[in-house]
Chain A
Amino acid sequence: MSPDAANGEVRIVTDRLVKRFGAFTAVDEVSFSVRRGEIMGFLGPNGAGKSTLIRMLCGLLRPTAGRAEVAGIDVARNPESVRENIGYMSQKFSLYNDLSVIENLRFFGGIYGVKGPRLTQRVAFAMEMAGLAGRADALVSNLSGGWKQRLALGCAVLHQPPILFLDEPTSGVDPSSRRRFWDLIYALSEQGVTILITTHYMDEAEYCNRLALINTGRLVALGTPSELKRGAIQGRLLLVECDDAGPLLEAIETAPGVRDVAPFGSALHLLVDDPAADIPRIEQFLSVRGLRWTRIEPIRPTLEDVFVQLVAVRRPDEAAP
């Protein structure tokens, strides 16, 4: 046990945690720690190993090597004790569709041993939180995505666990519901609940206190969102707006001062060292070749830029905001 964990500050800690499925390494020597009340985000494309990591921390998968402690308990040695201390929302929507709102809540109450007046109070809280007050008898299958996710969160925190694992809780939910969901997460964090959340939404990642970028099972960067944006990018970013990025993309790689190019929606992001000197040189380079653009200007990097810089294999369809 680390000294931090002993004084109760660090709630989750992993040490070179590995998970292999046959020859495939899903999680590769990942080490990090999460403090009490912190919102730790795991950002990465699908298949990066985020879910496998969370499942190991919940005691659902046995680590192949390395160690992980949740609430000071070794997950491999004592998964049952870990389960007393956590709430978990799996990636797949995981409530009982054929049960009503209240039946789902009472079921999880029964499983977690929440009873009597506390159950009544927790159920009322969860329904209020999910915005489902007055719809206790609605079948879950008839609820829309946002309500379902908030109810799932309500079920996961019914027993007031000190640690919460949320595996892509907002996938497939509309933006306004996502914002409401994050309000709830902040409220929980303020009460001291430690939250580990995975996402592939870049905008969502910005809401986290700290962020771990993960790709092909490896932890590629760890820090606050602003730390990552400041530290991970060596140089300055330029935005190139144009009508047709296709022809530009190939040519601009060889333009003077350009260290890297990445498509960004319909525009391009360029990595340069000195924008004041480089912009005129790039504009001249494009004019000579008869290529057309609308605007070139310096911008502040986003998390996606960071991600693109750090991750060798780019998968724009999955990592787009």
Chain B
Amino acid sequence: MKARRIKAIAKKELIQVWRDPRSLMIALLMPLMQMALLGYGVNLDIKHIPVCTFDREGSQRSEALLKRFQASNYFSVVEAVGSYGALKDALDYGRCKIGIVIPPDFSERLVDIGTVPVQIILDATDDNTASIGLGYAQDVVAGFSSDVQLVTWQRQGAIPQSAPVLLQSRVWFNEDLDSRNFVIPGVVAMVLALVGAQLTSLTISREWERGTMEVLISTPVTRMELMAGKLLPYFAIGLIDAAVCLALAVYWFEVPFRGALATLFLTTSLFLVVVLGVGYFISVAIRSQVGASQIALLVTMLPTTLLSGFAFPIDQMPWPIQAITYLVHSRYYVTILKAVFLKGAGLVELAAPISLLAIYAAVVAFLAARAFHKTLD
């Protein structure tokens, strides 16, 4: 390995990226756009479920119950209808996900009998939203019931009783139960995986397409020098992108950052070696720029979205799929980022994923270097 040759290639590569609008866009604009799109687009919280009400009584009491729905963050009452037909329409046309029907004798039965059914109709095409919505609705109704009971007891002069067993819950690591805190570190991993592989997927295929490779391989440059020279500038660009994405996560999306910068730097560097190596490997194997860029997108986007634990928890997948996730590079980095951000984990706690990522990096670098041959055969 001669440093002079590596330097010559790295310098040339940087000049080319700087003068190529397409590479420049991937390097500088794509991370910002993806952070914005995925950061805002991927939202796993269920809030403001549209609700349609059919109040058949229209008393103060029934309105008090409906107001509780309106006041809750989880629901927003979008329509109040006057008939079952109208309620059915609202659900059919998707104007609401939940319909609440209050019977005409609501107040009367509440006072006389002490109990009254309230009907809830759920659009369960999205079963997850429906069951979560049902849970929230039960909470709202339960809150209303206990208030009514309290008032009744006070009127009767009884001492209010508390439940014998009380659950006191404390939420750790993501205290606000805000899914953004959980998703954004994954988004950073995804953006780096995509951008990294895109950047290097063009680097060898461009030389083949433009015909410059033939002369390059007629020179004494070795394939290790070529790979080192080609990856170095993209490593620098990748670190800048990583810094921008992580800064956006902390300062724009306000994800709590509890770990050490050094841990973050080390693990991010390792992950960059992996993603740049993957892109380089693809670029060597597929000698057209468009083809290489498509393949790079395919092999990073799908596995990272579905199998990295970025949005869908790995431990809830069936075991064959769980086994496959060990082959997904971003799995390790997603695990590391979430732990560093939310738990403040350090090198000791993360020894396992960091070692695996390091092995991954070594294997990818080895394969990428070996894939290139200095012949036209």
When distances are taken between beta carbons in the complex, the residues of chain B under 8 Å from A115 are: 4
B170 at the A interface (CB under 8 A): no
| A307, B19: Cα distance in complex, Å | 47
B12 lies within 8 A of A107 (CB): yes
B220 lies within 8 A of A112 (CB): yes
| A62, B377: Cα distance in complex, Å | 7
B16 at the A interface (CB under 8 A): yes
A252 at the B interface (CB under 8 A): no
B7 at the A interface (CB under 8 A): yes
A110 lies within 8 A of B4 (CB): yes
| A97, B5: Cα distance in complex, Å | 20
A98 lies within 8 A of B218 (CB): no
| A88, B215: Cα distance in complex, Å | 7
Bitwise interface map of A from 55 to 83 toward B, beta carbon under 8 Å scored 1, else 0: 10011111000000000000000011001
When distances are taken between beta carbons in the complex, the residues of chain B under 8 Å from A244 are: none
When distances are taken between beta carbons in the complex, the residues of chain A under 8 Å from B15 are: 98-99, 103
Q: Across the interface, name the chain B residue whose C-beta is closest to A115.
A: B4
B220 lies within 8 A of A111 (CB): yes
Option from A89, A106, A108 in Cβ contact (under 8 Å) with B219? A108
Option from B4, B19, B210, B376 in Cβ contact (under 8 Å) with A60? B376
Q: Across the interface, name the chain A residue whose C-beta is closest to B12.
A: A107
A107 lies within 8 A of B211 (CB): no
B212 lies within 8 A of A96 (CB): yes
B221 at the A interface (CB under 8 A): yes
A132 at the B interface (CB under 8 A): no
A32 at the B interface (CB under 8 A): no
Option from B7, B217, B376 in Cβ contact (under 8 Å) with A110? B7
A92 in contact with B214 given A98-B20, A106-B8 (CB within 8 Å): yes
B155 at the A interface (CB under 8 A): no
Chain B 348-377 interface residues, beta-carbon cutoff 8 Å to A: 374-377
B375 CB to closest chain A CB (Å) equals: 6
When distances are taken between beta carbons in the complex, the residues of chain B under 8 Å from A110 are: 4-5, 7-9, 11
When distances are taken between beta carbons in the complex, the residues of chain A under 8 Å from B212 are: 94-96
Option from B19, B211, B221 in Cβ contact (under 8 Å) with A90? B211
Q: Across the interface, name the chain B residue whose C-beta is closest to A104.
A: B12
Chain A 94-131 interface residues, beta-carbon cutoff 8 Å to B: 94-99, 103, 106-113, 115
Between B7, B16, B222, the greatest number of chain A beta carbons within 10 A of the residue's beta carbon is seen for: B16
- Sample of 17 A–B contacts (CB below 8 Å): A58-B218, A60-B214, A60-B376, A79-B375, A83-B218, A86-B218, A88-B218, A89-B215, A90-B215, A96-B16, A98-B16, A99-B15, A103-B15, A107-B8, A110-B11, A111-B221, A112-B220
With A83-B220, A110-B9, A111-B9 known, 6 other A-B pairs at CB within 8 A are A88-B218, A94-B211, A96-B210, A98-B16, A111-B216, A111-B220
